[in-house]
Amino acid sequence: MKNYIHSLIKIRRSSRSITANIVEGWAKRHYENIFKCQLLDSIGSCDETKQWLDFALACQYITEDEHVHLTQRYNELDRMLHSLYVNWKSTVMPLSLLHLASCI
């Protein structure tokens, strides 16, 4: 049970970090290097969350269906973050990105 709770805490922490880094970076978007650094942190947190989901599946804390569903959502978010990183100057912060990041 202790390992199960620890895994859930790690998933929650890394997934919340995605949104927090997006918001913090967007607030500093006038400084390109800082903004892009925050986006890279968000991408890293997204990848970390997917890794924790893999561990959760391997330890049978989540079902295969849950893993597939959540991994697909995080892959979608990952693509959106990479697109924002590449096209950040021409992008208005898409509400769908923040909504997806905060609701997964």
Write the DSSP string, 22-40: HHHHHHTTTSHHHHHHHHH
Neighbours of 57 (CB within 10 A): 17
User: What is the 8-class DSSP label of residue 20?
Assistant: H
Name residue, tokens 């986006």: 39
Give the pLDDT of residue 17.
96
Name residue, tokens 């893993």: 67
Q: Provide the whole-model pTM.
A: 0.83
User: What is the 8-class DSSP label of residue 92?
Assistant: -
**Cα 79 → chain centroid:** 10
* pLDDT one-digit tens code per residue, 10-63: 999 999 999 999 999 988 888 889 999 999 999 999 999 999 999 999 999 999
Given pLDDT bands bounded at 50, 70 and 90, which one contains residue 101?
Answer: low
Domains of the chain: residue spans and CATH = 2-103 (1.20.1440.60)
Task: Report which residue type is found at 68.
Answer: V
pLDDT of residue 77 exceeding 90? yes
Cα(86)–Cα(78) distance, integer angstroms: 12
